[in-house]
Structure 1
Amino acid sequence: MKANSLLKLSLFALFTFVSLLSFGQQLPEKIMAHPRILFLEGQEDVIKKSIQNSPIKQKVNLALIKEANDIIGLPPLERIQTGRRLLSVSREYLRRVLFLGYAYRLNQDEKYLKRMEQEMLNVANFSNWNPSHFLDVAEMTTAMAIAYDWFYQGLSQNTKAKIKTAIIELGINPSYDTKNTMFLTAHHNWNQVCNAGMAFGALAIYDEEPELAKKTIERAIESIKLPMTQYAPDGAYPEGYAYWGYGTTFNVLFIDAMMKAFQSDFGLNQLPGFDKTAAYLMHMIGPSKNSFNYSDCSDNIRVNPAMFWFAELNQDPSLLFWEKELLKTDLNGNMHRRFTPLMMIWGASLVLDKELIPKEKIWAGSGDTPVALMRSSWDGNGIFIGLKAGSPHVNHAHMDIGSFVMDAMGERWAIDFGASSYNLLESQGIQIWGREQDSQRWDVFRYNNLAHSTLSFNNQFQKVYGFADIDKIIDTETVKGAMTDISAIYKTQVKSSKRAVAIIDNSYVVVTDQLVNNQEAKTLQWRMPTNAKVKSINDSEIVLSQNGKTLRLKLLSQQKVKMRTWSTKSPNSYDEANPNSIIVGFEMELEAKAEEAIQVALIPENNKAEVKPTDWKVFE
């Protein structure tokens, strides 16, 4: 750590005032000339040299330029809201800015400048950027600030004046209206996105409005520490894979912009867990090339340019394992993602053409949403299992505590349905943002525990204010597993409930539930959603089939159960369909005060090991 960073961190520990000025740190009166945001003057040559030396980067560069050329032919954006959001327009504008900006900075072709200036003036003439949903303003301001900065030297004075006014009046000023300031105290992605957007706007107009700019940046430096505490202690991101790609990318945008404009990260990189979070994201992807999509996330994976920034920060190119794989197999699919050009800026010094396999096969993190991620290998046929703990009360969380996903033979067998469309539910009057026990949110099919690979008792919902940690990790040659005590999630339903999942002999998976019932007899439901077909079912086993491959779900313990399936068609008219899916598992009767150790094996057809019950003692 640099000496001045140590000084700033020490001063922050001594004082608790919210302003940077309170501990003697002042932003400068003047700032470097444009370009000053992310992509500094002279970096073009560094990127060009890195492209010359890398076949992968050559392909990426050609794809980026082609996409920029395609954007030139698109009609200007219109101010069209979807429900209460303008967000899709803001995001498309940011995509156009980054692609056209990248092409212009590398090639200095006037056609990109001409097209960008047209788009900038068009968006500047919008009546507003929808401050009632402030993410829309934040992304629009981010885009406008980058465009103003990267194209600055080629813009007319008239255009500069209009864009500066738009940044201030449609972007920054609404962030000081108390109706819109929720993000300042939020501990989730809204804070990261909105503070980054306002800071970018401030950096863009720093020369013209230094007091407003400094005030806005100082406010952001303090406020963004709130969501950054959520990465502690290990780097797990509470809102899951897709929201990591959102919140963390904007957090990285913010820090990178501060470092390049002021040569300081203001101690942000030293906050616990943040430098470890790239490992979390890398381990969140299974060999099926699906993410562990708990919470409001889809299982789709994408290139995350922020991973290039972290790989540079940690001097660890192996963090780019999945990024390199996607650049090889789905390059064009990532050209429609707005942040994609940033990988060429953040990854300019990184070598992508050498194959680097990550060393660790198990990763676990605590925090608000503890998670354990295990695999038998990093090849496409390995076994992968992810176990989620935490609480339904976390932002975007579901009642999915104790749930798991599982990959084998290149297929995902145990799935998570993931996100439901916000607009679909909101347009039908469904209140999806409440997180109390009786909130309407939990009636949505995909949000409650009856649609997840976890337990239920008498079809009751999990307890919103319960919390479960990852209590033990086993990482040996023969067992890779994790255990979580989920008793608080079923408070009043059972006395005790502990779940462990483990990959055994790198060949199959065992799920163990240790239960102690309370004084009331009840029915336990053990569920596992899947996209596979049920090939056969008997008293102790369900055979699943998918893409010509089979997996057996087999009860290893001796309880009397009823193996069964559940439909994934919701009884609610407002829920979306869950096509080509089914929930498999079993029911069993729990006697009053009963103590049960239930073990289920998930056995791929290519298993060579002897399948047998696992001794619970390894998790004690």
Structure 2
Amino acid sequence: MNARNLFVSSLLALCLSFTLAIAQTDHLQSVPAPGSHPRLLLPARDEAAIRQVVGTDQTWGKVHKAMLTECDALLNTPPVERIQIGRRLLDKSREALRRLFLLSYAWRMTRQDTYRQRAEKEMLAIAAFSDWNPSHFLDVAEMTMAVAIGYDWLYNDLSPQSRATIKEAILKKGIEPSLDPKNNSWLKASHNWNQVCNAGMTFGALAIYEDEPVLAKQIINRAIDTIVLSMGDYGPDGAYPEGYGYWGYGTSFNVMFISAMEKAYGQDFGLSKQPGFLQTAAYMENMTGPSGRSFNYSDAGTGSELQPAMFWFANKTNNPSLLWIERERLQTNEGKSFVKNRLLPAIMVWNGGLSLDKITAPQALAWTGNGKNPLTLMRTSWTDPNAIFVGAKGGSPSVNHAHMDAGSFVMDANGVRWAMDFGMQDYNSLESKGVKIWDKGQNAQRWEVFRYGNAVHNTLTVNDGLQRVDGFAPIKRHGSSPDFMQTTIDLTDIYKGSLAEATRGIAIVKKAYVAVRDELKAGTTDATVRWTLLTPATVNILGPNRAELVKDGKKLLLQVQEPATITLQTWPTTPTHDYDAPNPGSVRVGFEVKLPANTSGNLTVLLIPEGKTTGNPAVVPPLRQWP
């Protein structure tokens, strides 16, 4: 060995020992080594069951056909190129994972050689990249998973030369960069980076296990030890702090990791028993309203999408009703609408041959989860498309990917999202203009981004100020009575220094309308409080305390029950900075009240959908009387 190679080997050994110092437990000591290829997610013995279900079940046949059709379209598409956008290569890694998962699935189900050849071409192109961008390690993690699946699923039919080239790329451009401390801060993270990166590295380790057994075992042991840090965020009830979009990211990769462990070792080393993890499926199921839109708090998109991981949860808990929303998506949408989901083939691994016709609606109409971002989700029906739905949250702006939205809510009725959330803005659109969106101090530039502040969420703004970053809003109590489903959120800490006390209650009353009641007390100085509703509807002010919202031919009445003397008004959603995203088709409606120092006041607003109630709604009682 020459001096240079000796130095490199010594450096890698040093990095490895440093990295693995936090992972002393040998979880794999007493378990057999994983079997022959293919060993990731889908052993050869399980292929027949998938072929049977796609041949006998219309819905699964539709999804299967859509995947093959997409693979046919990929045959003449050039491989991904190493084109970095800002600091990320992530869009290329994700496209690589989508393509290789689909093409490898198509090869295994049909044995049509065109699919294998196209997947091999993709892997060789990726293997030739200079690197997989370890400075933004999510890029490496997803690329490693992509190539690992292709390598493992096609292993027995790859040429020796291709096999060697691809294996070397997994090792040198995937796994070994994760040993360098400058690339692996995610090992100590409690958010989605931990889940995604540990999953990607483990897939790579399992794929090349027979060639690098010692290193592979160390990587897998490291993952089992450290992924529990991120899984701690599900406790105690399953509410995922980072919201809908990042549940679909972090949790799906967490499930990919656990599923790979189950298939390779026959166990998950106790990971699925982590507090709140299995319960998080109920959180996800309840996050989508009758409008088809999710409760998109924090950095989430505005829509919702098929979640293959939900099928793993349903099988694991033997609870098919968790799939009620997924059932509707699969049965009402065309198969081609799902093929952009890069984990779609996993749904065929996890569905267990379940007929969607056997899935029944959940029984509970309300769900509450505590944790870093506690929330309540409630609806009047699972089967009525015109049902009322409310998602309301407490929490803190300090949570990863959070906005200043403690006390905020969304609302559906008659198939319309009346109270909305903008959700995220594309990160690169902000980073490319120098906006420091990852600093979360009280005076950080992040809070100058229009969509991130409390002034454009369905919550309170006091003295034109921001919510407190280090504040926390817990759910004090909640109730699931069909005639008065409610949640009560203590916002006092969020507005500390501006208000002495602040409590918000949100209820669905008699399955007919929504009541929002705020009980406030000013501190030693006067406080001006703005109550805001962000809506995509057209707002017609009918009087000082009444406004009509119109959307898609439907109507909703906003009525301020107290205080008696207020003046409703609207505010535009036109951003103030050139880096802010435009917000067409939206408006804010609300009012302002002044609370003299050391005095108390109540704000009660009713949101009454057209056709849901007759007569005048009852006076909303004080929060202490809410059941």
TM-score (norm 1): 0.95
1:614 aligns with 2:617: no
1:557 matched to which residue of 2?
562
Matched-pair contact (CA < 8 Å) for 1:368–1:390? yes
1:216 aligns with 2:222: no
Instruction: For residue 278 of structure 2, give the secondary structure of its aligned residue in structure 1.
Output: helix
Instruction: For residue 274 of structure 1, give the secondary structure of its aligned residue in structure 2.
Output: coil
Q: Sequence identity of aligned pairs in percent? A: 47
Which of these residues, 92, 97, 115, is aligned with residue 94 of structure 1? 97
Looking at structure 2, the residues matched to 18 and 25 of structure 1 have their Cα atoms a distance apart, in angstroms, of: 16
1:343 matched to which residue of 2?
347
Instruction: For residue 516 of structure 1, give the secondary structure of its aligned residue in structure 2.
Output: strand
Of stretches 582-591 and 533-542 in structure 1, the one that deviates more from structure 2 is 533-542
Looking at structure 2, the residues matched to 249 and 266 of structure 1 have their Cα atoms a distance apart, in angstroms, of: 18
The Cα of 1:20 is off from its aligned counterpart by 5.5
Matched-pair contact (CA < 8 Å) for 2:541–2:569? no
Aligned residues, how many?
A: 603
1:232 matched to which residue of 2?
235
Alignment of 1:224-373 (within 5 A): 224-331=227-334, 332-373=336-377
The Cα of 1:573 is off from its aligned counterpart by 1.4
1:458 matched to which residue of 2?
463
Which of these residues, 391, 402, 407, is aligned with residue 407 of structure 2? 402
Looking at structure 1, the residues matched to 348 and 312 of structure 2 have their Cα atoms a distance apart, in angstroms, of: 10
Which of these residues, 151, 155, 163, is aligned with residue 154 of structure 2? 151
Q: C-alpha offsets along residues 189-233 of structure 1, whole Å, 9 cap, x if unaligned?
A: 000000000011000011001111011110010010001011011
Matched-pair contact (CA < 8 Å) for 1:529–1:583? yes
Distance 1:77 1:560, change over 3 A: same
Looking at structure 2, the residues matched to 492 and 339 of structure 1 have their Cα atoms a distance apart, in angstroms, of: 46
2:115 alignment partner AA? Y
Q: C-alpha offsets along residues 331-378 of structure 1, whole Å, 9 cap, x if unaligned?
A: 322111111121111003322123511111000000111010010111
Looking at structure 1, the residues matched to 36 and 625 of structure 2 have their Cα atoms a distance apart, in angstroms, of: 61
The Cα of 1:49 is off from its aligned counterpart by 1.8
Instruction: For residue 182 of structure 2, give the secondary structure of its aligned residue in structure 1.
Output: helix
Distance 1:210 1:355, change over 3 A: closer
2:587 alignment partner AA? I
Which of these residues, 395, 419, 424, is aligned with residue 424 of structure 2? 419
The Cα of 1:542 is off from its aligned counterpart by 1.2
1:169 matched to which residue of 2?
172
Looking at structure 2, the residues matched to 275 and 442 of structure 1 have their Cα atoms a distance apart, in angstroms, of: 34
Which of these residues, 383, 388, 392, is aligned with residue 383 of structure 1? 388
Alignment of 1:102-181 (within 5 A): 102-181=105-184
Alignment of 1:457-496 (within 5 A): 457-496=462-501
Matched-pair contact (CA < 8 Å) for 1:234–1:366? yes
1:205 aligns with 2:208: yes
Looking at structure 2, the residues matched to 333 and 47 of structure 1 have their Cα atoms a distance apart, in angstroms, of: 21
The Cα of 1:84 is off from its aligned counterpart by 0.8
1:208 alignment partner AA? D
Matched-pair contact (CA < 8 Å) for 1:472–1:619? no
Instruction: For residue 412 of structure 1, give the secondary structure of its aligned residue in structure 2.
Output: strand
2:14 matched to which residue of 1?
none
Distance 1:49 1:57, change over 3 A: same
1:162 alignment partner AA? T
1:430 aligns with 2:435: yes
1:344 alignment partner AA? M
Of stretches 573-582 and 25-34 in structure 1, the one that deviates more from structure 2 is 25-34
Looking at structure 1, the residues matched to 579 and 79 of structure 2 have their Cα atoms a distance apart, in angstroms, of: 34
2:18 matched to which residue of 1?
none
1:49 alignment partner AA? Q
Instruction: For residue 44 of structure 2, give the secondary structure of its aligned residue in structure 1.
Output: coil
1:221 alignment partner AA? I
Matched-pair contact (CA < 8 Å) for 1:494–1:516? yes
Matched-pair contact (CA < 8 Å) for 2:442–2:469? yes
Of stretches 41-50 and 378-387 in structure 1, the one that deviates more from structure 2 is 41-50
Looking at structure 2, the residues matched to 437 and 468 of structure 1 have their Cα atoms a distance apart, in angstroms, of: 16
Structure 1 segments unaligned to the other structure (5+ residues): 1-16
Instruction: For residue 499 of structure 2, give the secondary structure of its aligned residue in structure 1.
Output: coil
Of stretches 349-358 and 419-428 in structure 1, the one that deviates more from structure 2 is 349-358
The Cα of 1:30 is off from its aligned counterpart by 3.7
Instruction: For residue 611 of structure 1, give the secondary structure of its aligned residue in structure 2.
Output: coil
Instruction: For residue 242 of structure 1, give the secondary structure of its aligned residue in structure 2.
Output: helix
2:47 alignment partner AA? E
The Cα of 1:248 is off from its aligned counterpart by 0.2
Matched-pair contact (CA < 8 Å) for 1:29–1:210? no
Q: C-alpha offsets along residues 559-604 of structure 1, whole Å, 9 cap, x if unaligned?
A: 4222111110011111010011001111111121121121100000
The Cα of 1:463 is off from its aligned counterpart by 0.2
Which of these residues, 45, 48, 59, is aligned with residue 45 of structure 1? 48
Q: C-alpha offsets along residues 254-293 of structure 1, whole Å, 9 cap, x if unaligned?
A: 0010111011111101111001111000100000000000
2:480 alignment partner AA? D
Matched-pair contact (CA < 8 Å) for 2:374–2:394? yes
Looking at structure 1, the residues matched to 547 and 195 of structure 2 have their Cα atoms a distance apart, in angstroms, of: 45
Matched-pair contact (CA < 8 Å) for 2:541–2:568? no
Of stretches 437-446 and 535-544 in structure 1, the one that deviates more from structure 2 is 535-544
Structure 2 segments unaligned to the other structure (5+ residues): 1-20
2:408 alignment partner AA? S
Q: C-alpha offsets along residues 526-576 of structure 1, whole Å, 9 cap, x if unaligned?
A: 001110001334200111100111101100123422211111001111101
2:88 matched to which residue of 1?
85
1:65 aligns with 2:68: yes
TM-score (norm 2): 0.94
